[in-house]
Structure 1
Amino acid sequence: MSTEIKAPVFPESVAEGTVATWHKQPGEACSRDDLIVDIETDKVVLEVVAPADGVIEEILKGEGDTVESGEVIGKFKAGAVGDSGSSDSKASSAASEKDEAKTEQSQDSGDAILSPAARKLADENNVDPATVKGTGKDGRVTKEDVQNHVDTSKASGGSAKAAAPSAVPEVNVAAGERPEKRVPMTRLRASIAKRLVNAQQTAAMLTTFNEVDMGPIMELRKAYQDSFVKRHDIKLGFMSFFAKAATEALKRFPAVNASIDGNDMVYHGYQDIGVAVSTERGLVVPVVRDVDALGLADIEKKIVEYGTKAKDGKLAIEDMTGGTFTITNGGIFGSLLSTPILNPPQTAILGMHKIQERPMAVNGKVKIRPMMYLALSYDHRMVDGKEAVQFLVAIKDMLEDPARILLDV
């Protein structure tokens, strides 16, 4: 029995999407809930899965085609792949050939059974599937298994370094030739570009800087890290301290926590803080809501959850909508100083940077201290320079003396 494969129903703020990847081809067998196609919107990637056991009968919208919400993009034939009928026989034959090809490919890579998404990620990162331990059904290697393997390799500096030279394809180019590659923007990248340009064109953006001695926070983490992990089963990072310090500062300076809607200024009585996360597809900003009501452990868990979702392309529209203030950390990539761009319609964004030891004058003596530059970009239409500077100084004071966060002083 043939059924229609439809694009998901998009959220109200999303008008259309693009067919990103067909993971199954016509005649290829698939099981119920197998991923068959990815639909990319300007915010998230939506997955379409098989409604039952069967085969893909026909693809109506190819990769790169634009689709609307609920539009038919293909046809699916449910039922066992060996049913009577010429079309089923062809489907069975094609599926069989695919299976044989997959089997040969699996044997060539150490008998590892990979999902299509996992194989794609393994190829992109030059990972030998045989070296990845599968946690899926029947030992299948999932996309998460490959990602964890890549992250572990990068952290240890082992196989990731060894694979780096071969990750860049060798291109034989005749002398004098200058090769180019033209790749269309993804919907997410195009949306990011549009928002950033819009922010610069419509906001009176200005940036103020300061620096913070990270010594007290680092000492606090060192003293309580083991106890924190034992009690909360998660590591204590820097971002939770910054989120808490920003929350207290936002209470004192409501204009920094506001947004502009036409000719109106909207003051928010809550603190929903967006945390910028870099992914292969581009920058996304999931929102940690009601930060004032959360403890440090709750904030860390939420950030880790969003980071995992972002890497796997699982963030929902709801995870990224709203937000009254944003924090971005360029320091994890080695940035010493930058001027972050506003995330409209918010009026301010805080930029964290690399912690670097520098000689500082402390009580009349020169001491080496772990310092971080802070940057606050703000919309001067809404926030005066005095408020912006005082806001950043408040964050600096709370981070250099964490007891101020608890005592609200």
Structure 2
Amino acid sequence: MSIEIKAPTFPESVADGTVATWHKKPGEAVQRDELLVDIETDKVVLEVVAPADGMLKNLLKEEGDVVLSDEVLAIFVEGAVEASAPQTSAPAAAASAAPSGDVIMSPAARKIAEENGVQAASIAATGKDGRVTKEDVLNHLKTGDSKPAAPAPSAAPAPKKETPAAPAFVSDGERIEKRVPMTRLRATIARRLVEAQQTAAMLTTYNEVNMAPVMELRKKYKDQFEKKHGVKLGFMSFFVKAATEALKRFPAVNASIDGNDMVYHGYQDIGVAVSTERGLVVPILRDTDGMGLAEVESTIADFGLRARDGKLGIDEMQGGTFTISNGGTFGSLMSTPILNPPQTAIMGMHKIQERPMAVNGQVVILPMMYLALSYDHRMIDGKEAVQFLVTIKDLLEDPARLLLDI
């Protein structure tokens, strides 16, 4: 029985997606719930899995094609697949492709080949089923080797022998350039950041906080905390709780702008910026006022793991009333974070650096952290922005305030 493999149903905020990677080829046996294809949207990568045991009959959308919500991607044949099926189909496909010159290439490989005027048939293929990969094209440009007359499977060992020569890319004095198209996620991030700078009256205010009290508290209770809650006690949970309290005191920092309207939120949904190979994503901690330190830490840890694997859902990154970005994990001492529209403020954490500070007329070495608050001056006055950061500073330098709500 034939089944249509369709793209996922995208939410209203996502117009379309791009076929990122086909993990299975036509004729290849697959099992139920096995991953077939990745669909990359502006926010996340969505996975489409096999509806049953069977195989892909043919692909209607290739890698790099733009697809709409629920659009048909491929035809799937349900039922047991004989072991000989994929073995027979691969050579047949290669044989039929040879006379016609229709070489199987990945989108990235085809683009590089066209830009450099290289004939696909002259490139030695090392990919599965005779597919020419991006690395094959780059190796061809480097060595100038031609594709052997033998079939693709027998041609595979030749490029492998060339692999040790890869460092020659940078050691032969050649000025190699690599052109890679932006992913949809990266392009969306770029567009939104530029839009934020062009449409908001963005301003940044700075302060610094003595991290010694939080560090001492963490050192004292981290073992008991981990034993009881099963998660490590980090710094982010303290900042999330401090920011939540400060947002309650300064509603404008927790607001957003919708056209000519100012929307004040009676809840605190804090986004935590997470860096991944595909780009920066901001999953949301919902209703942080009702979350404890352990729940904050476990949720952030879960977000980090799933973000790096591309497993976050679109609903987990929608909304948010405030954002925290921690550049200190990469060693940043100070930065100016860019707003995450339609939010009106974002706070940047930075590296904890020991510095000499004047305390009661004495020079004391303290672990200090710079804090940065970028805000939309159309919504937030400078006085509120400064007082917001001072509130966070006071709460962190005396963590008992968080418990006493003072």
Q: Indicate the TM-score class for this superposition, using the shorter chain for normalisation.
A: 0.7 to 0.9
CA contact (8 A) 1:28 1:95 kept: no
Q: Percent identity?
A: 74
Distance 1:92 1:4, change over 3 A: farther
Change in CA separation of 1:378 and 1:218 when aligned onto 2, cut-off 3 Å:
same
Contact 1:29–1:92 (CA under 8 A) maintained in structure 2 = no
Q: Report if aligned partners of 1:213, 1:370 keep a CA contact under 8 Å in 2.
A: yes
Matched, 1:93 2:94: no
Name the SS for the 2:13 alignment partner.
coil
From 245, 248, 262, the counterpart of 2:245: 248
Q: Which of 312, 324, 345 in structure 1 is aligned with 2:309?
A: 312
User: Which residue does the alignment assign to 1:51?
Assistant: 51
CA distance 1:174–1:349, shift in 2 (3 Å): closer
Distance 1:168 1:333, change over 3 A: farther
Aligned counterparts of 2:186 and 2:349: Cα–Cα separation in 1: 23
Alpha-carbon distance, 1:196 to partner: 0.2
Label 1:254 to 1:73 Cα distance change in 2 as closer, same or farther (>3 A). same
The answer as to whether partners of 1:209 and 1:374 remain within 8 angstroms in 2 is yes
Measured after TM superposition, the shift of residue 92 of structure 1 is: 5.7
Displacement of 1:342 after TM fit?
0.3
Residues 353 and 369 in structure 2, CA contact (< 8 A), matched pair in contact too: yes
1:27 maps to which residue? 27
**1:382 and 1:172, CA in 2 relative to 1: closer, same or farther beyond 3 A?**
closer
Distance 1:223 1:96, change over 3 A: farther
Structure 1 residues 169, 279: CA separation in 2 closer, same or farther (over 3 Å shift)? farther
Q: Which residue of 2 aligns with 1:271?
A: 268
Alignment partner, residue 130 of structure 1:
none
Shift of 1:172: 3.6
More off after superposition, 210-219 vs 304-313: 304-313
State the one-letter code of the partner of 2:364. K
- Cα distance in 2 for partners of 1:167, 1:267 equals 60
1:4-43 pair list within 5 angstroms: 4-43=4-43
Q: Contact between 2:28 and 2:85, CA under 8 Å: does it hold in 1?
A: no
Q: In structure 1, the residue corresponding to 2:196 is in which secondary structure?
A: helix
- Aligned residue among 354, 370, 388 for 2:385: 388
Residues 31, 54 of structure 2: 8 Å contact kept: yes
- 1:400 Cα deviation (Å)? 0.4
Which residue does the alignment assign to 2:203? 206
Change (3 A) 1:296 1:31: same
Q: Are the aligned partners of 2:169 and 2:176 in contact in 1 as well (CA < 8 Å)?
A: no
Q: Which residue number corresponds to residue 106 of structure 1? A: none
Instruction: Report the Cα offset of residue 76 of structure 1.
Output: 1.2
Q: Which residue of 2 aligns with 1:303?
A: 300
Segments of structure 2 that go 5 or more residues without pairing to the other structure are: 93-127, 129-162
Structure 1 residues 99-138: aligned runs within 5 Å: none
SS in 2 for 1:245: helix
Q: Distance in 2 between matches of 1:172 and 1:183?
A: 17
Amino acid at match of 1:395: I
User: Deviation digits for residues 107-159 of structure 1, max 9, x if unmatched?
Assistant: xxxxxxxxx9xxxxxxxxxxxxxxxxxxxxxxxxxxxxxxxxxxxxxxxxxxx
CA–CA distance in 2 between the matches of 1:14 and 1:313?
Answer: 17
Q: Distance in 1 between matches of 2:370 and 2:329?
A: 13
Question: CA separation of 1:213/1:96 partners in 2, compared to 1, >3 Å: closer, same or farther?
Answer: farther
In the alignment, what sits opposite 2:97? Answer: none
The whole-number CA distance in structure 2 between the counterparts of 1:174 and 1:218 is 46
The match for 1:359 is: 356
- Residues 176 and 234 (structure 1 numbering): CA distance in 2 closer, same or farther, change over 3 Å? closer
Q: How many residues align?
A: 338
Alignment-mate amino acid for residue 21 of structure 2: T
Aligned with 1:382: secondary structure?
coil
Q: Separation in 1 of the partners of 2:241 and 2:164? A: 40
Q: Is the 8 A contact 1:55 1:91 kept in 2?
A: no
Equivalent position of 1:75 in the other structure = 75
Give the 3-state SS of the residue equivalent to 1:12 in structure 2. Answer: coil
Kept after mapping to 2: 8 A contact 1:207/1:377: yes
Q: C-alpha separation between the residues in 1 aligned to 2:172 and 2:229?
A: 60
Greater radius of gyration (CA): 2
Give the Cα–Cα distance (whole angstroms) in 1 for the partners of residues 286 and 302 of structure 2.
13
Closer, same or farther: CA 273–173 of 1 in aligned 2, 3 Å:
closer
Contact 1:44 1:313 in 2 (8 A): yes
Letter of the aligned partner of 2:6 in structure 1? K
TM-score (norm 2): 0.80
**Contiguous gaps of at least 5 residues in structure 1:** 83-87, 98-115, 117-165
Residue 163 (structure 1) aligns with: none
> Once the two structures are superposed, what CA deviation does each residue of 1:355-393 show, in whole Å capped at 9, x if it has no partner?
011111111111111010000000000000011001101
Give 1:203's aligned amino acid: A
1:245-304 superposed Cα distances (whole Å, 9 cap, x missing partner): 011111111110111111111111111100000001000000001100111011111111
1:89 Cα deviation from its structure 2 partner = 5.7
